[in-house]
């Protein structure tokens, strides 16, 4: 079981950023998303496909269907520039991470 992410995404401030993650039957599993800024530990921004932990801005949204899960950031801000990783659980391979997407806001 593998998760595939595009290595990079560029977005202008205020625009919407959508980061896809593809994997077999992702829609049948729970996907979580982690934000990683330089020198900091990962922070979960979406869990169970679409739930936001307390303290995560409402502009972060998640969805999942078929083989694709997506993290969407509405009104992207400079502070959202970071690496984003998807993760899902597989009964054979355990907690698999995607390769990560570097989001650049410029």
Partner 1 sequence: QLQLQESGPRLVRPSETLSLTCSVSGGSVRSAFYWAWVRQPPGKGFEWIGTLHHGGDTYSNPSLKSRLLISVDTSKNEVSLKLNSATAADTALYYCARSTDVLTGFFLDYWGQGTQVTVSS
62 touches partner 1 (CB under 8 A): no
- Contact stretch for partner 1 (CB under 8 A) within 12-20, 55-63, 72-80, 86-94: 86-94
Q: List C-alpha distances in Å: 3 to 6, 21, 29, 42, 106.
A: 10, 6, 12, 18, 27
Answer whether 61's CB lies under 8 Å from 74's CB: yes
Instruction: Label the pairing between strands 101-105 and 8-11.
Output: parallel
44 or 74: CB nearest partner 1: 44
The yes or no reply on residue 30 touching partner 1 (CB under 8 A) is yes
Binding residues (CB under 8 A) for partner 1: these are: 29-32, 34, 41-44, 47-48, 53, 85, 87-89, 92-100
């Amino acid at each position: 079981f593998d998760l595939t992410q595009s290595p990079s995404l560029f977005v202008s401030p205020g625009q919407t950023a959508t980061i896809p993650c593809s994997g077999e039957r992702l829609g049948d599993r729970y996907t979580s998303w982690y934000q990683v800024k330089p020198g900091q530990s990962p922070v979960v921004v979406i869990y169970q496909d679409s739930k936001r932990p307390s303290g995560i801005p409402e502009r972060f949204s998640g969805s999942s269907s078929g083989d694709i899960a997506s993290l969407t950031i509405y009104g992207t801000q400079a502070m959202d520039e970071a690496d984003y990783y998807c993760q899902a659980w597989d009964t054979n391979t355990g907690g698999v991470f995607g390769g990560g997407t570097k989001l650049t806001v410029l």
